[in-house]
Structure 1
């Protein structure tokens, strides 16, 4: 479960940002995760309390936004969600596509008091 290490690095990044900007309390941390990324949201949520214990983020709410895993069909140019369509274009049935989005993992927002 690599989510623990990733979440610890996120906490370090947010703490550094807070120190650089003179923040003493953070209310909410918003993370964006693509449907096609290797991160599993429920694992991140599960390890979050341990990652923030004893840090500036200890009382911070974690919010995770899931971004769609979209692709464009190389045959007909239809944009579609890979997961919802089992990696197959719903328009022409093609299985040759290019990923447009869905592999992201980023800190979207840090909400401070």
Structure 2
């Protein structure tokens, strides 16, 4: 489970941001996670308390927004969700597509008091 290391790095980045901007308290960290990324949101939530334990982020909330894994069909140019359609265009049944989104992992927002 690599989520712990990644979430610890997120905590380090957010703490550095807070120090640089003289922020004393962070309320919420909002992450965007692509549904095709290697990060599992449930595991991120599970490891978050351990990752922020003993830091200035210990009492923060975590919010995760899922970015859909969308592709654009190489044949008919239909945009479709890759997981929901099992990587096959629902319009023409082509399996050729360009990945548009879904592999992201971002710190979207740091909500401060």
The two structures have a TM-score, normalised by structure 2, of: 0.99
Say how many residue pairs are matched. 113
Alpha-carbon shift at residue 56 of structure 1 (Å): 0.9
Alpha-carbon shift at residue 76 of structure 1 (Å): 0.5
Separation in 1, partners of 2:25, 2:53? 14
SS in 2 for 1:33: strand
Match of 1:15 in 2: 15
Match of 2:86 in 1: 86
SS in 2 for 1:43: helix
Separation in 2, partners of 1:25, 1:55? 11
Does residue 32 of structure 1 match 2:27? no
Match of 1:69 in 2: 69
The two structures have a TM-score, normalised by structure 1, of: 0.99
1:41-64 alpha-carbon deviations (Å, 9 max, x no partner): 000000000000010110000000
RMSD: 0.4
SS in 2 for 1:9: helix
Separation in 2, partners of 1:35, 1:41? 9
Match of 2:42 in 1: 42
Separation in 1, partners of 2:23, 2:32? 22
SS in 1 for 2:76: coil
Separation in 1, partners of 2:93, 2:82? 12
